[in-house]
Amino acid sequence: MTIDPRAYVAKELLPGLDVIPTLDLNDESIVQFRGMIALASLEVPPEVAVVTCEERFVPGSPDAPDVRILLYVPPGAADSPRPAYLHIHGGGYVLGRPELNDLSNRAMALTHGCVVVSVAYRLAPEASFPAARDDCYAALAWLHREAASLGVDPARIAIGGESAGGGHAAALALHARDFGQLPICFMLLDSPMLDDRTGSTIETSPHFGQLVWTAGLNRYGWKSMLGREPGGDDIPAEAVPARCADMSGLPPAFIVVGALDLFLLEDLAFAAGLASAGVPVELHVVPGAYHGFGAAGPAAPQVQMAQSLRQAALARAFAGS
């Protein structure tokens, strides 16, 4: 029986499938995709243009290059130290740059009155694990170290990202927990990419993972980041959040994922692991939604719902509730 994956997509989200480019990723094509991403520019609406954006370079981990970040600061003087959000962009571990999230990061800073730091981590396959994880940790360390000069409350630093960025955020949280030096108050994970075994040694259902980000793309992304074939017993657990045997001590988490997303089962399992370890977790599965369903635009009710849930969860985290 042949399954038409579009038949399961919510009608309000179908237009998004027509604007998402078809991805055929390999070591040659990612160069072209990166070039197109670099040329992409977004017009900044006046309502969020009041948020300043500054490029900076912060010290990397030992023997690693400096890490480029974008620093977003909301307008006006704060009466007390602001919360902060460390954003990690998506792109299957091989694509992306923080500029693509410029508008959402400006909106985040304005909505929550928080400082936002978006990390331009090193991409695979040129830089395999732990390069990106270490770049994100270096940015988190800088944010803590410079908290006073930035007017940031170090007790209210959250992290998060979408897709591969969500995977990097989860790996960063595990790394920070193990070192015990850089507190994180919250994880905001949007369709996080968490398990190298999905689509490699773990087969996927024909009812999800057929649109946008497929099992084949997942294998390429993980192979690039790990520097070896994914799914095997030789994969270091610290590189793959889903392989973590002990999730105790991680920060509270918010996870949202589409019901048609390749990452559905691994995200459900990760949420269950957090809950079993006593970590507060909020989980939402969006019916009829594929990976990257935000491409359907802000008018789609599913996009509005997911955005509202994200913002409410982060607001509660920053308020300490």
> Which residues are known catalytic residues?
163, 261, 291
Per the listing, tokens 């920053």 go with: 318
Q: Do 157 and 318 form a contact (C-beta atoms < 8 A)?
A: no
Handedness of CA 237, 138, 268, 89 (dihedral sign): negative
Q: Give the CA angle between residues 199, 193, 231 to the nearest 5°.
A: 40
Give the β-pairing of 115-120 and 67-73. Answer: antiparallel
Give the separation between CA 175 and CA 137, rounded to whole angstroms.
Answer: 8
CB 241 within 8 A of CB 170: yes
Beta bridge pairs of residue 283: 255
Residues 6+ apart with CB under 8 A from 185: 83, 155, 156, 157, 158, 251, 252, 317, 318
Cα distance between residue 271 and residue 266, in whole Å: 9
Residue ranges in the chain assigned as alpha helix (H): 14-17, 29-39, 46-49, 102-112, 131-145, 147-150, 164-179, 215-226, 264-276, 301-319
